[in-house]
Amino acid sequence: MKGFMDMMSQAKDLQAKMSKMQDELAELEIVGVAGAGLVRVTLDGKGNLKGLKIDESLIKPDDVEIMEDLILAAHTDARAKLEQASAEKMQSMAGDLPLPPGMKLF
């Protein structure tokens, strides 16, 4: 019975850690850049677009396609950084758990 109680306690601890991690991730602001910083995209921890900054040197009618590509690239960069930050938080949290070899939480 003690083993079951220990497992339940660990599950409760995991739930509390997951909730804390989700709160921390929601507060994150991740900035993705493209074009050597000419385009910057800011995402919140849930991946929602919170801001967009375009250097005025890009604002030329003939360069619209380039600007669109840079916005997409900056967004992709921000999403990748967000996924990395999420994975690192999950890894640090999972490091405390006695998981069987090869089992992952994410």
Quickly list DSSP for 11-59: HHHHHHHHHHHHHHHHH-EEEEEETTTTEEEEEETTS-EEEEEE-GGG-
Which residues have C-beta within 8 Å of that of residue 90, sequence separation ≥ 6? Answer: 21, 105, 106
Question: What pLDDT, in 10s, does the model give residues 3-58?
Answer: 778 888 888 888 888 888 888 888 888 899 999 999 999 988 888 888 899 998 88
Number of domains, the chain: 1
pTM value > 0.85: no
What distance in Å separates the CA atoms of residue 92 and residue 54, rounded to the nearest whole number? 35
Using one digit for the tens of pLDDT, what is the confidence trace for 56-87?
Answer: 888 888 888 888 899 999 999 998 998 898 88
Tell whether 39 is covered by a domain. yes
Give the domain extent around 76. Answer: 26-94
Q: Is 88 inside a domain boundary?
A: yes
Give me the residue label for tokens 């509390």.
16
